Amino acid sequence: MTETHEIVVEKVKESKIGNIDFDNLTFGKTFTDHMLECTWRNGNWENPVIKPYGPIMMEPSAKVFHYGQAIFEGMKAFRDEDDNVFLFRPEDNWKRFNESAKRLAMPEVPEEIFMYGLKKLVDLDREWVRYGDGLSLYLRPFMIASENGVAAAPSTEYKFMVVMSPAFAYYRGDVRVIIASQFSRAADGGIGYAKAAGNYAASFYPNNLALEEGYQQIIWTDAASHEYLEEAGTMNIFVRIGDKLLTAPNNDRILNGVTRRSVIQLAQDKGIEVEVRKISVAEVKEAAESGELKEIFGTGTAAVIVPIKGFKHEEYTHELPVLNDSYASDIKESIKDIHYNRVEDKHGWRVKV
């Protein structure tokens, strides 16, 4: 990677890190001292700037506020016991970011800006990456349409930014889900596979209804028939029936999760049979009734791996058993060992900062 874009660095006068209680972090609420900002103007990316984290100035007519032309990524940096700092599979996030950009008619961000900028930013705020079980620095690269004017057409100006937040895993309590039979997250030919802000906004109302019933998340099903499991919005989904691990295939409605791919690989490394195929709701309910349904778990950067304690589908409810030989726990330990540099990085997923 070459540094053809000079990065201008403007440091904070005084770090706020001394005021942070790293044992009591609420996900996504605390931000580090610095952020990265890079503007696309006149068909080019200008030089990125690293500057103190703080408000940005935009006019109310900026297109992002009207048409939701906005995408993001979720990534993490980890510190090992010897104070080395690593990113986890950052290239995969960069590639997916640009796939999202393409679908939302936004300019792609070159590798040197995304990767070099990210590394420089993490390096500058490396004290914010703490070593501790489940602790990480959550990185949030995003891009918004910043051109002023409300014509419904792609923006001619964009801001690519990165903000960073020290965090534990996203879910810290039990997670029960509703399997969707009414609302949909994504449809064929749509933007479900992209990390587009609108995908998340669209899920908030049905998710609020689920919360009112005591369920923390929704497992979305295909919009056409509501017969097949897709993903959970904040996570991809795995189902264990007997000794087999199942997950839905990628398509244009499902996010191609980096953690999902890592989990498939780690499960296969352990000799677990993984089937990437359509999973019907009927099959899950049948397996629940016969006792063959052992586990359901979600995977994602923010969430890492989250066991689902129970689910509801229409009037049917089911509680998952507590297992001594849980695939979710076993794979989670393995992925954490890689995150924190406790084992050899067989697949080349760690990138040192």
What does the alpha-carbon distance between residue 68 and residue 219 come to, in Å, rounded to a whole number?
24
Residue 234 or 283: the one with the smaller Cβ distance to ligand COI is: 234
| Neighbour-count burial of 160, counting CB atoms closer than 10 A to its CB (0-12 exposed, 13-18 middle, 19+ buried) | buried
Told to check if 206 binds ligand COI by CB under 6 A, we report: no
Q: Which stretch binds ligand COI (CB under 6 A): 34-42, 48-56, 245-253, 294-302?
A: 294-302
Token digits of residue 147: 């051109």
Containing H/E element for 67?
helix 63-67
CB 303, min distance to ligand COI, A: 6
- Of these, 301, 326, 334, 341, which contacts ligand COI (CB under 6 A)? 301
Nearest 10 degrees: CA dihedral of 211, 215, 216, 222? Answer: -100
Helix-, strand-, coil-residue percentages of the chain, each rounded to 5: 25, 30, 45
Read out DSSP for 271-297?
A: T--EEES--BHHHHHHHHHHT-EEEEE
Residue 73 or 108: the one with the smaller Cβ distance to ligand COI is: 73
Told to check if 74 binds ligand COI by CB under 6 A, we report: yes
Letter string b/e over residues 309-319, b meaning 16 or more CB atoms within 10 A of that residue's CB: ebbbbeeeebe
CB 200, min distance to ligand COI, A: 6
- Of these, 106, 302, 306, 328, which contacts ligand COI (CB under 6 A)? 302
Told to check if 234 binds ligand COI by CB under 6 A, we report: yes
CB 44, min distance to ligand COI, A: 28
Q: Which stretch binds ligand COI (CB under 6 A): 4-12, 288-296, 301-309, 326-334?
A: 301-309
Token digits of residue 100: 């999202």
- Determine the residue type at 294: K
Q: How many residues bind ligand COI (CB under 6 A)?
A: 7
Residue 194 or 284: the one with the smaller Cβ distance to ligand COI is: 194
Told to check if 30 binds ligand COI by CB under 6 A, we report: no
3-class secondary structure, 25: coil
Residue 287 or 305: the one with the smaller Cβ distance to ligand COI is: 305
Residue 86 or 170: the one with the smaller Cβ distance to ligand COI is: 170
- Of these, 166, 192, 300, 307, which contacts ligand COI (CB under 6 A)? 300
Told to check if 170 binds ligand COI by CB under 6 A, we report: yes
Residues 6+ apart with CB under 8 A from 275: 244, 245, 246, 247
Residue 93 or 147: the one with the smaller Cβ distance to ligand COI is: 93
What does the alpha-carbon distance between residue 241 and residue 235 come to, in Å, rounded to a whole number?
19
Residue 263 or 293: the one with the smaller Cβ distance to ligand COI is: 263
Q: Which stretch binds ligand COI (CB under 6 A): 36-44, 267-275, 282-290, 298-306?
A: 298-306
Residues 6+ apart with CB under 8 A from 320: 293, 294, 295, 296, 307, 308, 309, 310, 311
Residues that bind ligand COI (CB under 6 A): 74, 170, 234, 300-303
